[in-house]
Structure 1
Amino acid sequence: MIPTPPVSGFGGYALAALVTLAVTALVVLMHYRGLEGLARRYSGRRHPRHRSAMLVIIFALLGLHVLEIACYGVAYWGLDQLPGIGLARGAVDISLFDGVYLSAMAYSTVSFGDISPDGALRVMAGMEAIAGLMLIAWSASFTYLEMARLWQDRGGPE
């Protein structure tokens, strides 16, 4: 492992903020493209199994959220490797899985349990909670609109 100089104080928070902005931009763009692809695939389609399309949409959205959580998780893990940035309390040496777990807790706004952010990592956790809330709401709105469109002529699920 290459030794890195400690990044502390304002520099650590600035680096955490830049990484947070980059990851947030990436996940919002991924979410937009994912919803765009689903809308393009299913809009205007009427076929005998149109209601089963909702299952595909739900599983695709779940996969999209897991991928977004993983993006933040990799960022937590990477930032935690730098001395002075902060650490994930509750883990002596944060693993990639710990980073993804921490990300899932922040993204879903469940809160923090046995692993929680400290120092500059709190910048990412706060922004991820806001982004996760918005992206989950966006998915819920999309799901509602697609369900209303796909089920409008048939009177509900079969």
Structure 2
Amino acid sequence: MGERVWSVEESLVIAAPAAEVYAAVADPRRMVEWSTELFAVRVRGQRFTGFNRKGPLVWFTSCRIAVAEPDAEFAFDVTSFGLPIARWGYRVEAEPAQGGTRITEYWLDHRRTPGWRRTVAELLGLVFTATPAARRAEVNRRGMRVTLQRISESLTGQPA
């Protein structure tokens, strides 16, 4: 097994204006349309709860919006039972030469500091998702590719 991957990002150019792309990803409720795991969201101001599913496994995460820069970046920090898990985000930049907007989805694992909090957070992740922490980056990369394709199709009506 190789060295643990602590961050992942994937990009795609979408034939839509940056403002439209940003507005879509900055609404956590819309993520239900695109995500490979998320099936419901409850929004409360700058915070929201995500309800996730992988096969028969179901879990929730608590999220707090960390970055909200219109037409540029939207990101949120994820915790589980008060333990830091990750930051998920989207960078949006106009790509006039390519006729659209580059959207980059990224994930940063926040379970880096050794100790009991990391051990418990990684154990919770394994129990809820059946994915060892060392494989989460690989799973997230595959999910990001699907998510970005679905966002593109949703906004343009065309396959990416």
| TM-score greater than 0.5 by the shorter chain | no
Q: Greater strand share, 1 or 2?
A: 2
Q: Greater helix share, 1 or 2?
A: 1
- Return the TM-score normalized by structure 2: 0.29
Rg (Cα) greater in structure = 1
